[in-house]
Structure 1
Amino acid sequence: MKTLHKLDYPSPIGVLEIIGTEEAIHSIMFAEREVPLPAENKEEIPQVLWDCYRQLDEYFQGLRSEFSFPISMAGTSFQKSVWNILETIPYGATTSYSAIAQTIGNEKAVRAVGNANGKNRLSIVIPCHRIVGANGSLTGYAGGLWRKEWLLQHEKTHAAPKNIESEQNKSTGQG
């Protein structure tokens, strides 16, 4: 069995505990502690955990909307199919459980989609926070609804100006 390493990231909305091996990140979850734990022997922490830490930092600074470090998703084939769809939801956008159920070809699987969403162990990277109720209301989030609201607002704030600016630069030939 491969050695699991831990590294805490102090996000603006709480400590994120990053767990992974030398090959991939297995979990990014909000920890129920106010202060990050000191890194274990820093030289022994694999580069992939440091890459995750750096990319999360860039995300929270509004500089990153996608992640490029390797991840490992442990779950059933159904859960993985839902998580793969979550990865396609654009930064700053939202969708509903029912829309995902329709996408996987089973309109009656709304609760199963919700359960799969709740089993996601890769917070933010597999963006389960982008799922809202069919009426647009905020619904359950393992990290707490206040965090979900913060993350959605953060993405909306950082997505729009960059997209508008890049479109303006393209139209004026400045891009």
Structure 2
Amino acid sequence: MTGAPIEWITVPSPLPSGPLGVGVTGLGVAAVSFSPDVDPGGPAAPGAVRCTDRRRVAAVAGRFEEYFAGARRELDLPLDWRLATGPHRLVLETLYRTVPYGETVTYGRLAQRSGAFDQVAQSPGLAARAVGSMMAANPLPVLVPCHRVVASDGLGGFGGGRIGLDVKRWLLTLEGWLAPTLDWDGPG
């Protein structure tokens, strides 16, 4: 990791996981955590630096609020890719550029699309599993929409166990890929 330290903003969210921790630098958003009070790099962790730039806090919190309210399809925040390198970054950048709001891609198709795996043709399952691991390690969830990556036979996984799958379902419902259920608590 190079550059200025990451400063943290706590962003309210309607997600089943609760508020987000959003790590920012002078270059942009470098990290998003679904559990800001527990994550070792989160804003409540010992040694974490809180962002005190009111303009930056307002811009980041405002974009997330608009997105969660269904008023914004893209967060349009600059990204600091410092926490993703090599093939991981290539796959995440491919996801970011090629899978828009309301659409999904399978793990295997993202592996092919990224060009990060020589063995895709010989072992598509292996490449798909590698992409799954990369999605679980995505430092920029929501912004780099790993929730839009699904299994060829269903929803697939999402970090954080049961609550993580609930977050994935919530985001895919917000974006219209999944139909709302009777207990949907998102925007109408």
TM-score tier by shorter-chain length is 0.7 to 0.9
Larger relative helix fraction: 1
Equivalent residue, structure 1, for 2:157: 140
Equivalent residue, structure 2, for 1:7: 9
Show structure 1 runs of 5+ residues with no match: 158-175
Deviation at 1:138, TM superposition (A): 1.6
- CA distance in 1 between counterparts of 2:173 and 2:149 reads 13
RMSD between aligned residues: 2.4
Question: How many residues align structurally?
Answer: 152
How many percent identity over aligned positions?
Answer: 32
Equivalent residue, structure 2, for 1:80: 89
Q: Which amino acid aligns with 1:145?
A: L
Q: Which amino acid aligns with 2:21?
A: E
Alignment of 1:1-175 (within 5 A): 2-13=4-15, 14-31=18-35, 44-45=52-53, 47-73=55-81, 74-87=83-96, 88-105=98-115, 106=117, 107=120, 108=124, 109-135=127-153, 137-143=154-160, 144-156=164-176
- CA distance in 2 between counterparts of 1:23 and 1:66 reads 18
Per-residue CA distance 1:84-122 (angstroms, 9 max, x = gap)? 121121211111101111213442321221111111111
TM superposition score normalised by structure 1: 0.77
> Runs (4+) of structure 1 moved beyond 6 Å?
none
- CA distance in 2 between counterparts of 1:64 and 1:45 reads 23
Show structure 2 runs of 5+ residues with no match: 38-42, 178-188
Are 2:20 and 2:36, in contact at CA under 8 Å, matched by a contact in 1?
no
Are 1:19 and 1:26, in contact at CA under 8 Å, matched by a contact in 2?
yes
